[in-house]
Chains A and B, each alone.
Chain A
Amino acid sequence: MKGVTKWILLAILVLAVVVAFVFYKKQTKTVEPKAKPRIAQAIKTSKEWVLRDSAMSNMTSFDPVKIVDAFSVNVLANVYEGLVNVSPEGRPVPGLAESWEHSPDGKAWTFHLKKGVKFHPVTGCNFKVPEEVTAKDVLYSFKRALSAPGAVTSWIFTDIMEGALEFAKGESKEIKGIEIVDPYTIKIHLKKPYFLVTRLTFNGTWIYPAGIVEACGEDYLSSHEVGTGPYMLEEFVPDDRIVLTGFKAYRQIHEKAPARVVIRIFSDPLAAMESFAAGDLDIVEAGISTLPKARGLAEEGNNLVSVPANYLDYIVMNNKKAPFDDIRVRRALNMVIDREALAHQVLKGFGTPAYGFIPPFSPAFRGIDRIKQQGFGFNPAEAKSLMETYLKDKGKQTLELELVIDSGEVPETIGQFVKAQVENNLPNVHVSLKKITWPAMLQMAFGGDGVFYRMWWNIVTPGDDLYFLFYFPGQDPPHGFNLSFYNSKEFPSKYETAMAGLDANKRYQGVQQLEDMMIRDAVAIPLLHKTFYFLEKKGITCPVNGLLKKPYIYSTSSEN
């Protein structure tokens, strides 16, 4: 029978060699994406380089008024601009408006547009792009943010701009609060004094040419972009890559910037890190599982950048449902968790302990030691006595809690840590963990059914009022985002007062008072402010801030 076996073996080897040969030929086909440059506008300089970035998600849409996810917003921040842009440090700076001033009462803001700003060319539609950006384009874009079908951005203006709410509801044909003084000057009237500048960094206020939707269709902006930013969106292949090509007008000012940016999309952080190690990427984000490897690679000359994020990882408690409607339970749970152990020992520096609700990115952040004193410091003894008092009052012996988490290393680690801390330090409390998928989590939380679960937020636009978006009394799910069902009567008025100031320091103080109130009321259990880590290849720099914005135009390469 040896003979038969030999024949089989021979046949298979021959087949294998033939097939392998055929496929080896196919392998040598180039994998570089064929960018079809928009010939008229793309520029070739003698120092062209391609920046290779990586990402863990896909873009959901290109339409400024429909995107809500951080990733789409931050990629398109390179493509679109608003009146106000965001600097590499994450602060508002002039964008399409080169300067602005406001009336003494803070209710009338005048913006002066830059002259000669060009739009990107329009493809796939017979639309003549205007010579430059003018006030009528701004008005058009703002109107669309309020009233386009499927727009999620009307809230940017409806609470502060005169006539915005009426326009959004369809009750009036024009926005009373927007006044076009001349083609390069636009005046905005507000209902109350407000620091309008931060609102104008939001993606909903990005500017595109007037009449584009009428000419090219309602869906045009979902898959095409007509921005004014430094890069044009050349190609997007879902789960594969995004390609940005430099826009001539901008590139003339920033000659050292990359001519093209290719963002490879991975879903597995390990695959991304290995790609970086193999030399196929210039920048990669280090997730919790790849952080040790990133640290190792940093020792080889690469640069590990850490960015304190505009981020909070926390446990939501439904303030209106037992047992979380009792402040003693909420406070006890807060004091029983050793946040330092979580951040330093368990997560090994993947974040910093959070004792409050304002993240380190904000200028209003007071420092860990200072906030710790406000009430959430690790104090198991007091927590135990609070819990015992509660149980005695209710005539109960034990308390059964179910903590809902989604899947992934971070939520599962946090969930198991919290369970262990609560059960170890509060002997009469038992926590069971329930794991659900992320879509199910969103449905539960925003549908209003969540009681006790782990959630997080990551805010990608500057603005101190946004930190309280998820705890605003009166805006309970499913109609609003008050996931905690926080029901303080004094909070909304204190919020109005804090935000009404145009003095930044006064605003920060107001925001800190709001945070103190939330700590006093033990609204939720803040756990961690994540620190984002980025590994940059030796010789490459790319600014990134706590908003996770990467203005590629300021990237540099040591070879250029």
Chain B
Amino acid sequence: MLTYAFRSVFVVILGILFSFALFYVLPDPAYRVAGGFADKATVASIRKNLHLDEPIAERFVTLVSDTARGRLKSFYTNRPVIGLAIDKLKVSLAVASWGLVFIFVLGGLLVAGQGMSRRLKRWVEMLSNTAAVVPVFISAILLLFASTKWGLPKDACAGLALAIFPSILLSSNIVLRLEEAKQAPHTLIARAFGLGRFVMFRRMIHELAPSFIILSNALIFFLIAGLAVVEEIFGIPGIGHWFLQSALRLDLPVLFAVSVLLSLGVVALDMFNKIVVWVLDPRQRNAW
């Protein structure tokens, strides 16, 4: 347990360092801040204001301490970043929550659809294959038009656009596993013994545990990467959109703060995964 905690802290630090290292590869923010009047003197004065010429170690320490004290300020708007980040996170959580709801609803419908009959299964499979190849920005644009036309809430439509892909991923995973579980010797034996459906359902839960892990990993990638695109298309002022715009404008403090939040989030998710596995699948309890 202690080693795991220690390891998690190490992961967070390493993650932040990775992100920080990338800053040195990006173009010079000072020119972007100066805009169309970027003569040498102005750029130099901007670099000085933004502490861009200090040695690497000092810059990193300043960034971390500023973040911890909530004093980190954006290059562009001179506002404290952490407060803004938390406000925007709340906005994004609304969209992400709708996304999660739709993942479970759609995923559940897809699983049920494929479990009901062979013919339905083939249609559902084909439908989900078609939907899967629709990139997030396409479904988002179509849903944007739908939301304008029929007055649907933007957050819900944005969440739906995000959910299509992960729900198909989750459902296809679950269906595959359920199929195997059906054929697994212990299930066949249990059926032969005439065990009740509910008891078998309980037994099958641990087959699904890995699906949750897959989902949460896919969640980070597709949900978070998709969040920025979806927020941009719907005009929702959430953290994904803010991050995308800040990355394009090279607003380094914002990128740093979001990286820190993401590090913490990923580690928290990893912990959650471990707990889910621990609860659902006793066979994997030694995997720590």
Contacts and interface: CB of A to CB of B under 8 A. Distances in A.
* A touches B in complex, CB < 8 A: yes
Interface of A: 1-9, 12-13, 15-16, 19-20, 23, 26-27, 58-61, 68-69, 149-150, 152, 219, 222-223, 236-241, 264-268, 270-272, 274-275, 277-278, 437-440, 442-443, 446-447, 457, 477-481
Q: Across the A-B interface, give the 4 residue pairs with the lowest CB-CB distance, nearest first.
A: A271-B235, A12-B108, A5-B115, A446-B38
Contact of B232 (A7, A237, A241, A267): A267
A232 B83 CA distance: 23
Contacts of A69: 35-36
Nearest to A240: B237
Contacts of A9: 108-109, 111-112
Given A1-B182, A9-B111, A439-B249, A219 B141 contact: no
B159 to A, nearest CB: 9
A61 B50 CA distance: 14
Nearest to A6: B112
A97 to B, nearest CB: 26
Contacts of A68: 34-37
Contacts of B233: 268, 270-271
B29 A267 contact: no
Nearest to B84: A238
Nearest to B91: A240
A13 B107 CA distance: 11
Given A1-B115, A20-B101, A274-B144, 4 more contacts: A12-B107, A268-B235, A477-B39, A479-B40
Given A150-B45, A440-B27, A442-B32, A1 B38 contact: no
B250 A439 contact: yes
Contacts of B27: 437, 439-440, 443
Contacts of A13: 105, 108
Nearest to A479: B40
A59 B78 CA distance: 10
Interface string B88-101: 10000010011011
A69 B34 CA distance: 8
B76 interface: yes
Contacts of B107: 12
B130 to A, nearest CB: 22
Interface string B13-37: 0000000000000111101111111
A4 B200 contact: yes
Contacts of B245: 58, 239, 267
Nearest to A26: B94
Contacts of B151: 278
Contact of B39 (A241, A268, A478): A478
A222 to B, nearest CB: 5
B273 interface: no
A438 B144 contact: no
Nearest to A28: B153
B71 to A, nearest CB: 12
B77 A236 contact: yes
B248 interface: yes
Q: Which of B40, B84, B235 has the most CB of A within 10 A?
A: B235
A60 B97 CA distance: 32
Interface residues of B, number: 70
Interface in B103-125: 104-105, 107-109, 111-112, 115-116
B204 interface: yes
Given A60-B33, A69-B35, A479-B39, A238 B74 contact: yes
A60 B98 contact: no
B256 interface: no
A60 B78 CA distance: 8
B165 interface: no
B110 to A, nearest CB: 10
A546 B28 CA distance: 31
A265 B201 CA distance: 50
Nearest to A149: B45
A439 B35 contact: no
A27 B141 CA distance: 21
Given A16-B105, A23-B101, A5 B112 contact: yes
Contact of B104 (A16, A152, A277, A457): A16
Interface string B35-58: 111111111011001000000000
Interface in B216-245: 232-235, 237, 241-242, 244-245
Contact of A12 (B105, B144, B182, B242): B105
Q: Which of A6, A16, A219, A265 has the most CB of B within 10 A?
A: A16
A481 B28 CA distance: 18
Nearest to B45: A150
B283 interface: no
B272 interface: no
Contacts of A8: 108, 111-112
B69 interface: no
22 contacts: A2-B115, A3-B201, A5-B115, A8-B111, A12-B104, A16-B101, A16-B105, A23-B94, A23-B97, A61-B78, A68-B35, A150-B45, A271-B232, A274-B145, A274-B147, A438-B248, A439-B248, A439-B250, A440-B27, A442-B32, A443-B27, A446-B38
A452 B31 CA distance: 19
Contacts of A239: 88, 237, 241-242, 245
Contacts of B38: 442-443, 446-447
Contacts of B178: 1, 4-5
A27 B155 contact: yes
B108 A268 contact: no
A446 B237 contact: no
B286 interface: no
A3 B109 CA distance: 15
Given A23-B98, A59-B77, A443-B27, A275 B235 contact: yes
B43 A446 contact: yes
A58 B77 contact: yes
A437 B145 contact: no
B186 interface: no
A223 B78 contact: yes
Contacts of A479: 39-41
